[in-house]
Each structure stands twice: as structure tokens, then as C-alpha cells.
């Protein structure tokens, strides 16, 4: 897997990761609503209130591992997290932006 990212000079840097990858989903935020089961009761009876999500914002994640990386390489890879543009390059013509 090749990761490419925009560096601080305006160019693109890249890195080939040869170890395992794990795909997942993170929930960044959600909105909740409440509904009283018995609308005539006072609001102090919180046990009779149903809470449910009305909206969720999530994103796909990829945990990438690599091996045999020097300390200097690890320090340069921190720019992936702070870059405004990160892409996965699957071929010369196919780049997916995350």
C-alpha cells in the first residue's frame, strides 16, 4: 500500500507500507433525541425516557503497520497525521483521498 500526502513545501511525499492493514469505522459524533414514554408524568422521572440516536457522523479508518523503520523515518511519518491531504495510491492512475 502506498500512502501519499501533501508536504509543507506544497509537494507530495509517499511511503510504501508492506505490513498488515486493518480496516474499520470510527464514529466521530452523534446527535440524540429523547422521548418520554408517559408524557403526562413530570420530567423528573428520567427512567421513563427513551434516548436514541438521530444522526451519526462516521468515517472509514485504516490502521497501517510497517516494519524495519528507522527513528528518522518514524519522525518524518508524523506528517501524515497533520497533512491536509492524504491519499491511498492503488495504481499509477488510481488515488483515493481520505
- pLDDT tens-digit readout, 17-41: 777 778 888 888 888 887 777 666 6
**Domain check: are 49 and 71 in the same one?**
no
Same domain, yes or no, for 5 and 33?
no
Percent of the chain with pLDDT over 70: 88
Are residues 74 and 93 located together in one domain of the fold?
yes
Q: What is the largest CA-CA distance in the chain?
A: 66
Number of domains in the chain: 2
Same domain, 98 and 69: yes
Res 41: pLDDT: 61
Enclosing domain of residue 55: 25-61
pLDDT of residue 46: 54
Closest CA to 89 of 14, 19, 6, 9: 14
Secondary structure class of 73 (helix, strand, coil): helix
What is the tens place of the pLDDT at every residue in 50-89?
A: 777 788 888 888 887 777 778 887 777 778 778 888 887 7
Residues 29 and 52 in one domain: yes
Same-domain check for residues 14 and 29: no
Cα-flanking dihedrals φ and ψ of residue 81, to 5°? -70, -30
Residue 9 sits in the same domain as residue 31: no
Amino acid at each position: 500500500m502506498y500512502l501519499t500526502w501533501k508536504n509543507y513545501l506544497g509537494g507530495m511525499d509517499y511511503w510504501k507500507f508492506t505490513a498488515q492493514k486493518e480496516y474499520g469505522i470510527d464514529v466521530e459524533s452523534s446527535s440524540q433525541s429523547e422521548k418520554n414514554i408517559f408524557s403526562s408524568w413530570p420530567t423528573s422521572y428520567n427512567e421513563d425516557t427513551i434516548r436514541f440516536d438521530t444522526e451519526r457522523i462516521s468515517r472509514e479508518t485504516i490502521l497501517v503497520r510497517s516494519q524495519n523503520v528507522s527513528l528518522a523515518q518514524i519522525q518524518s511519518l508524523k506528517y501524515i497525521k497533520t497533512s491536509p491531504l492524504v491519499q491511498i495510491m492503488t495504481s499509477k492512475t488510481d488515488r483515493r483521498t481520505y
